[in-house]
Amino acid sequence: MFDKLQRLIFSPSNWFGLALANIVLLLKGMGLLGWAGLPLAAAGYVVGFVGGGLLFGFPSFAASAWDSLTFSDEGDARESMGRALSAVRRLVEDNPGKRLPRPLQDQVLALCSSLDGLLAQWERSKGALSLQEGFHARHIALSYLPEALKTYLSIPPQFAATRVLRDGKTAQDIFRDTLTDLESKVRELGDDLAGQDAHAFLAHSQFLHEKFGAREIFVAPELTSQKSSSQRGSS
């Protein structure tokens, strides 16, 4: 139900309808339409909704393959992440409806590979992620990436590629930035684990050096001078 409502809200049909209805209400507020303002606003919404749908596509309420990108955070965190990443990768590789342009498709798959690498590193690492960082690692795979995909794909392709939403950027641009932000966080988590492992390596190496490292043989000065005197006396 929430997904369908989300598709309606973010659809160009709804935005065009709201824009036209708001123009009518503005005219009514200026006293130009009188009692007919509200009925005309409703009619304006309908006209805008239909016009936006014809230009950019009507919202689809039918279930799509992308709707399967819903995962629960149950059981072992790393196993849950692995299952979610496998499902995301399969779906993005298949790309139902060719909804993802190739550059975005490649970027999502690269993020999945980075998350796989983080999982493998997490498995073998002697370090540990904090509760907060562990939460972030799980939810990038289980919810942040899947939800970003679904909300982006709820927007009709032409609208997503051409309509400027914020700061001169289209939905496609914003989604690309979101993937970049997630990739940066994954690298940060990997660096955190690597830093802990490097610290443990240095500490263990120092321990071994102190225990088994080469030591200079110390000879007391007075013993050295006595030995030299005896050598001179014998000569």
**Residue 78 C-beta-side C-alpha neighbours within 13 Å:** 11
Rounded Cα–Cα distance for residues 222 and 228 (Å): 10
CB 172 within 8 A of CB 104: yes
Tens-place pLDDT, residues 29-85: 887 777 777 888 888 888 888 887 777 766 665 555 666 677 776 777 778 888 889
Q: Which residues pair with 164 in a beta bridge?
A: 170
Single-letter amino acid, residue 193: L
Note the pLDDT of residue 70. Answer: 72
pLDDT in tens, 97-107: 888 999 999 99
Beta strands in the chain (DSSP E): 164-166, 169-170
Q: Which pTM value belongs to this model?
A: 0.62
Q: Where are the domains of the chain?
A: 2-56, 65-211
DSSP state of 67: G
Half-sphere exposure of 206 (CA within 13 A, CB side): 6
Q: End-to-end CA distance of the chain, in Å?
A: 107
